[in-house]
Structure 1
Amino acid sequence: MKTSGYQRASYLALFTILYNILEGLVSVWMGASDETLALFGFGADSFIEVISAVGVWHMLQRIRANAGETRDEFEQRALKITGVSFYLLTAGLVATAVINIYQHHKPETTFWGVVVSLVSVSFMWYLIRQKTAVGKALNSPAILADAACSRACLYFSLALLVSSIGYEVTGVGSLDAVGAMFIAYLSFREGREAFAKAKGMTCSCGCSCTP
């Protein structure tokens, strides 16, 4: 039973990796084409999530080998790279958002931001439910923490959705920049938690960390 449970968790991790790669490619491409900072930042976040998901997949393989849930060197390195990447994304998004607001920049359209975010919300909701079910069945804090991280990704999607719909309805260009700044805030929080996890602290993606 446990073996099949961890196998399912591994499949979900692989699905997360593949989905985030595809989502990142589409979002970065469309964000650059339409000059939509929020969508471009969302796509960059998807690529960072791939690094994190690879670490989770590696962890699940190790757990299946009965090596326990304590993170090894590979997973700690992946978390540190994830943390640095999130911090760099935060700085880039904030700086660009401020410039865009100052220059009264307007994206050509945020239609694709609406489409991508709705698709992402659907897939993240599915992943949250599946990962939570597997984590509870296996009584695995690591898998439940991964489910919580998928929930954090859902917040990224909602931030993109609100800012994209807001611009399409009102035409106020600064809403795209505001959406990007909120994504930057979420990225900073994710980066902080990645470093905390690398130090061996227990986190729940968006909540406080404890030793």
Structure 2
Amino acid sequence: MNTDNKIKLYKVAFWLAVFTIVYNTVEGLVSTSLGYEDESLSLFGFGSDSFIEVISGIGIAHMVLRIQKNANSTRDSFERTALRITGVAFYSLVAGLTVTSIYNIWTGHKPETTLWGVVISIISIAVMWALVYAKEKVGRKLNSDAILADAGCTRVCIYMSVILLVASAIYELTGFPYIDSIGTLGIAYFAFKEGQECFEKAKSDKLCSSKGCC
């Protein structure tokens, strides 16, 4: 591949990272606002996770610029710091969501509606799926394990969106009182796994940890 094509592909990879940051910011604002208003913990937790993904996305954008200059370079202090901050944020989110979920189950708390959870999760699945496809396409063309690993991380967001969709849809259809909290615990599980990944990556230069994600 000639140099011009590589430059163009790295630009695409960078702007995909920027789009991920902007999208997660908007998604976080909308989801936390509607989740709070409708008393839907799963939607609020999903939105909180989106804000943490913004921090991660900044690290990814920095990574793309780094490997563009030197494909064989290793993680620098900025990326390691971003990973540690992201890891702490994920663990804090897990603690908050877990405690609140258990409390809601104990008290029998129910959201007013989870309709917005259905809508937002469907949009998120579509957007994240398109991002995974685009990142994998660029990663393969550049033969970049780093960009392909980032695509793998974006795929985790799809799993969280599916959990939100299932929990929100079940509540809307059945009114089952505990499903919103159960869905929240599912989101907390993936947030915990992502927190683990962040700390493992911060300690090494490996793109993938023993858990298999980037």
- Compute the TM-score of the two structures, normalised by the length of structure 2: 0.94
| Residue of structure 2 in register with 1:134 after alignment | 138
| Residue of structure 2 in register with 1:77 after alignment | 81
| Residue of structure 2 in register with 1:171 after alignment | 175
| Residue of structure 1 in register with 2:162 after alignment | 158
Alignment of 1:1-211 (within 5 A): 1-66=5-70, 68-200=72-204, 202-204=206-208, 207-208=211-212
Which AA in structure 1 matches 2:48?
A: A
User: Is the CA contact 1:149–1:205 (under 8 Å) kept in the aligned structure 2?
Assistant: no
Identity %: 54
Deviation per CA, 1:171-195: give whole Å up to 9, x if none: 0120000000000000000000010
Unpaired runs of at least 5, structure 2: none
Give the Å deviation of 1:72: 0.5
Q: Cα gap change, 1:51/1:10 in structure 2, threshold over 3 Å: closer, same or farther?
A: same
Q: Cα gap change, 1:209/1:104 in structure 2, threshold over 3 Å: closer, same or farther?
A: closer
CA RMSD of aligned residues (A): 1.6
Unpaired runs of at least 5, structure 1: none
Q: Cα gap change, 1:24/1:114 in structure 2, threshold over 3 Å: closer, same or farther?
A: same
User: Is the CA contact 1:21–1:46 (under 8 Å) kept in the aligned structure 2?
Assistant: yes
User: Is the CA contact 1:156–1:183 (under 8 Å) kept in the aligned structure 2?
Assistant: yes
Which AA in structure 2 matches 1:10?
A: F
- Structure 1 residue runs of 4+, over 6 Å off? none
Q: For 1:71 and 1:139, how far apart are their aligned partners in 2?
A: 18
Q: For 1:60 and 1:86, how far apart are their aligned partners in 2?
A: 23
Q: For 2:8 and 2:181, how far apart are their aligned partners in 1?
A: 45
Give 3-state SS (helix, strand or coil) of 1:17's partner.
Answer: helix
Give the Å deviation of 1:66: 2.3
User: Is the CA contact 2:200–2:209 (under 8 Å) kept in the aligned structure 1?
Assistant: no
